[in-house]
Structure 1
């Protein structure tokens, strides 16, 4: 199996107001997010790629226009956890690139959430 990945960045605020008031994530705060999309294929295309990295530019555009410097509570219909972001980006990517195998989202340098079916 061949695997490729590409990393994207954005900054946004959110608040997990469903948590207890004394939980740090219940307060309004922000993160510098990292999103990594992974594509996989048993075969390479005629150019020798799983998919040309340039073809992933629509994800950068989507992130820049919808997520960057936004309040995620206003963007998502589910709690704005890293887990839910990973699933959201996975579904968005899979609808465009069937080779999408996983999406990882980082809120901090030491934390990652991944959605992989």
Structure 2
């Protein structure tokens, strides 16, 4: 299996709900986030690539327009805590519609911490079960999530 990874950065604020008042993440604060996008393939294309890195410029555009210098509580779906775990999942679902070889998205808030959402079999799945990305229902859900994120992007552009 071949794997490539490209890294992107953005700065944003957030505030996590449901934590004790003395928890630092319960207060408004910000991070310089690092997002890593990983693609995998069992073979290479005619040039010798898993995927052309240049085509991943769309990821930078998406991050810059949707997440960079934003308050993430206003970007994610209402009621969702903008944790690194949730951001990794949202970014994965949005990008998977465009990049079928996408295998993982990692989001880091600090140099020592990161969260990852990885395509794979559902937790507790038997070894012979298909990965979740092969499920038509989950593929449909990924398209719906991508449409929701597109709506949030459009709303954000309307506010500019």
Q: Under TM normalisation by the shorter chain, which class is it?
A: over 0.9
**Higher strand residue share:** 1
TM-score, length of structure 2 as denominator length: 0.72
Structure 1 unmatched ranges of 5 or more: none
**Higher helix residue share:** 2
**Which of the two has higher C-alpha Rg?**
2
Three-state SS of the structure 2 residue aligned to 1:96 is coil
Q: Which has the higher contact order (CA 8 A, sep 6+)?
A: 1
Whole-angstrom CA distance in 1 between matches of 2:94 and 2:20: 31
Equivalent in the alignment of 2:53: 53
Structure 2 unmatched ranges of 5 or more: 120-160
Equivalent in the alignment of 1:91: 93
Consecutive aligned runs of 4 or more in structure 1 exceeding 4 Å deviation: none
TM-score, length of structure 1 as denominator length: 0.97
Q: What is the Cα-based RMSD across aligned positions, in Å?
A: 0.7
Whole-angstrom CA distance in 1 between matches of 2:24 and 2:93: 29
Whole-angstrom CA distance in 1 between matches of 2:69 and 2:85: 19
Structure 1 residue 66, shift from structure 2 partner: 0.8
